[in-house]
């Protein structure tokens, strides 16, 4: 950062002497010294305050003696498993809600952001109403509202709403059909579903390769090659073919109500649903504003030029506007994603067993607040770093590829 101070040209009067504290170098030094001193004092204070305690993470290996609800794909009980295992169950719950919330709020955010720019008066006003409502109410209030008012407002499980034996709604949650591995008509073993998933990956790779080739051909020859339609069609065909060839290894399981619980199918519990709804609706409003702002930041000429060469509104958006707007959108939207991961800690407000809730239970039972909160902080930091890494990668690709 060394910069050459401009030398006054000869013959001009000497500049007046600058007092020491106004000199950049001295001032920087002073500020840094002060910063170091304050940091050292804070650390010393914390160490002195906590000096008498015992430290260590050994307590995490002891049996948890509490159970964690709202598990998905896992059923780990706290009687025999360690506290750390239960913490990881909480981490898994957090990851689940964060990934879904990010994906859904991106989709809804883009839709609503584009809708706000619609020339249809009703559509744009509705989008504005959505944004202004959900952006300006605290997230915690929204989550509790979804939980206590909307989801608890559903009837009890004894009076469950049954939509064609397909969808069940009650205040025990929403039950939807779900897939189960199945021997299929060859009567094969359950792991056939794994083979099918592998086949899906292969089909995806192949489709991606075809798309690339067609894109290149399109660019070189100038003829329309429909890369996306080809890729999607190929993937669908391969998926269906392998599915039938393997003897349909996946069956759809409809939910049923058994006593006071949902059995089979997939139950989405109100706690999870409320947190997800809250996060998605809240974040969508912000993403929508980012999308709108980024599109409006483009010169109007882009839209007009695209219209002038006869592109439809949809083509205009997907081939001209959004690719350019993405460069604005991605860095801002990354911040929203980071917020989602941190805001997910509001889960304890609706009794959803996320990592913060589980860690809090551990801390309340055994103490060790310093270690537990260190663990929580590091976990959230890791999550944020992973999100940042992924987003930076996407950002690099977008800036490189756009012409």
Partner 1 sequence: MRLVMLGLAALLSLMLLAACGGGDGDGQAGGGNAPESVLRDVIDRGVLHCGVKGSQPGFSYLEPDGTFTGFDVEFCKAIAAAVLEDADAVEYLSVASASRFELLAAQEIDVLIRTTTVTAERDAGRGVDFAPTTFYTGQSFAVHADSGIFSTADMDGITICVQSATTTEQNLDDLFAELGYSYVPLGGEDQENQDAFIAGRCDAWTGDQSNLASRISQLPNAADFRVINEIISKEPLAPGVLDYDNAWKDVITWVVYGLINAEELGVTQSNVAAWSEDPPNTAVARLLGVPFEGGEVADLGFDVDPQFIQRALRAVGNYGEIYERTVARVGIARAGTLNALYTEGGIIYAPPYR
**Tokens of residue 43, six digits:** 């650390």
> What x/- string results for residues 267 through 306 when contact with partner 1 is judged by CB under 8 A?
---xx-----------------------------------
Nearest to partner 1 of 351, 384 (CB atom): 351
b vs e for 387-403, b when ≥16 Cβ sit within 10 Å of the residue's Cβ? beeebeeebeeeeeeee
Tell me which stretch binds partner 1 (CB under 8 A): 46-54, 116-124, 247-255, 289-297: 46-54
Nearest to partner 1 of 107, 369 (CB atom): 369
Q: How far is the CB of 230 from partner 1 (least distance, A)?
A: 47
The residue whose two tokens read 């299929």 is 184
Nearest to partner 1 of 100, 144 (CB atom): 144
> What x/- string results for residues 211 through 230 when contact with partner 1 is judged by CB under 8 A?
--------------------
Q: How far is the CB of 94 from partner 1 (least distance, A)?
A: 16
Nearest to partner 1 of 271, 289 (CB atom): 271
Cβ neighbours for 120, distance < 8 A, ≥ 6 positions apart? none
Q: How far is the CB of 42 from partner 1 (least distance, A)?
A: 8
Q: How far is the CB of 351 from partner 1 (least distance, A)?
A: 4
CA gap 325, 295 in Å, rounded: 5
Q: How far is the CB of 218 from partner 1 (least distance, A)?
A: 54
CA gap 170, 269 in Å, rounded: 10
Nearest to partner 1 of 150, 390 (CB atom): 150
State CA 236 to chain mean position distance.
Answer: 27
Question: Which among 340, 342, 279 has a CA at the least distance from the CA of 143?
Answer: 279
Yes or no: say if 248 and 185 are a contact pair by the CB < 8 Å rule: yes
Nearest to partner 1 of 157, 174 (CB atom): 157
> What x/- string results for residues 348 through 367 when contact with partner 1 is judged by CB under 8 A?
---x-x---x--xx--xxxx
Nearest to partner 1 of 44, 197 (CB atom): 44
Distance, first Cα to last Cα, the chain: 33
b vs e for 341-364, b when ≥16 Cβ sit within 10 Å of the residue's Cβ? bebbbbbbbbebbbbbbbbbbbbe
Residue 232's φ and ψ, nearest 5 degrees, are -65, -45
Nearest to partner 1 of 172, 211 (CB atom): 172
> Which of positions 48-107 make contact with partner 1 (CB under 8 A)?
48-49, 52, 65-70, 75, 77-80
> What x/- string results for residues 1 through 30 when contact with partner 1 is judged by CB under 8 A?
----------------x-xxxx-------x
320-328, long-range: CB within 8 Å, 24+ apart, which pairs? 321/295, 322/110, 322/295, 323/398, 323/402, 324/298, 324/402, 325/291, 325/294, 325/295, 325/297, 325/298, 326/294, 326/398, 326/402, 327/395, 327/398, 327/399, 327/402, 328/290, 328/293, 328/294, 328/297
Nearest to partner 1 of 251, 366 (CB atom): 366
Tell me which stretch binds partner 1 (CB under 8 A): 32-40, 117-125, 201-209, 211-219: 32-40
Angle (CA) 353-390-238 rounded to 5° is 90
> Which of positions 133-172 make contact with partner 1 (CB under 8 A)?
148, 152, 156-158, 171-172
Paired with 181 in beta bridges are: 250
Chain residues that interact with partner 1, rule: CB under 8 A: 17, 19-22, 30, 33-34, 37-38, 41, 44-45, 48-49, 52, 65-70, 75, 77-80, 148, 152, 156-158, 171-172, 259-261, 270-271, 351, 353, 357, 360-361, 364-367, 369
């Amino acid at each position: 950062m060394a910069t050459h101070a401009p030398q006054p040209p000869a013959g001009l009067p000497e500049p007046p002497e600058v007092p020491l504290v106004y000199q950049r170098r001295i001032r920087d030094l002073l500020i840094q010294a002060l910063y170091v001193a304050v940091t050292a004092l804070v650390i010393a204070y914390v160490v002195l305050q906590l000096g008498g305690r015992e430290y260590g993470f050994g307590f995490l290996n002891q049996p948890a003696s509490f159970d964690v609800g709202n598990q998905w794909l896992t059923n780990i009980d706290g009687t025999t498993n360690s506290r750390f295992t239960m913490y990881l169950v909480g981490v898994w719950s957090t990851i689940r809600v964060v990934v879904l919330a990010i994906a859904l709020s991106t989709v809804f955010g883009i839709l609503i952001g584009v809708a706000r720019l619609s020339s249809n008066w009703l559509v744009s006003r509705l989008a504005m109403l959505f944004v202004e409502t959900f952006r300006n109410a605290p997230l915690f209030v929204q989550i509790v509202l979804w939980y206590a008012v909307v989801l608890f407002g559903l009837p009890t499980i004894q009076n469950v709403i049954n939509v064609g034996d397909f969808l069940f709604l009650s205040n025990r949650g929403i039950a939807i059909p779900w897939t189960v591995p199945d021997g299929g008509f060859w009567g094969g073993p359950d792991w056939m579903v794994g083979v099918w998933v592998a086949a899906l990956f292969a089909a995806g790779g192949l489709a991606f390769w075809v798309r690339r080739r067609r894109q290149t051909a399109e660019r070189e020859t100038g003829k329309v090659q429909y890369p996306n339609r080809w890729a999607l069609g190929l993937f669908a065909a391969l998926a269906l073919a392998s599915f039938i060839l393997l003897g349909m290894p996946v069956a759809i399981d409809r939910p049923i109500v058994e006593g006071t619980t949902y059995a089979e199918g997939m139950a989405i519990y109100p706690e999870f649903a409320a947190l997800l709804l809250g996060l998605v609706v809240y974040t969508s409003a912000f993403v929508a504003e980012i999308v709108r702002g980024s599109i409006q930041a483009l010169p109007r000429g882009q839209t007009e030029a695209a219209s002038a060469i006869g592109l439809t509104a949809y083509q205009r958006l997907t081939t001209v506007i959004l690719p350019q707007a993405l460069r604005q959108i991605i860095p801002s939207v990354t911040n929203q994603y980071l917020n989602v991961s941190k805001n997910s800690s509001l889960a304890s407000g609706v009794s959803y067993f996320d990592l913060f809730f589980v860690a809090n239970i551990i801390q309340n039972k055994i103490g060790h607040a310093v270690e537990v909160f260190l663990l929580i902080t590091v976990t959230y930091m890791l999550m944020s770093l992973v999100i940042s890494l992924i987003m930076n990668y996407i950002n690099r690709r977008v800036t490189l590829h756009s012409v």
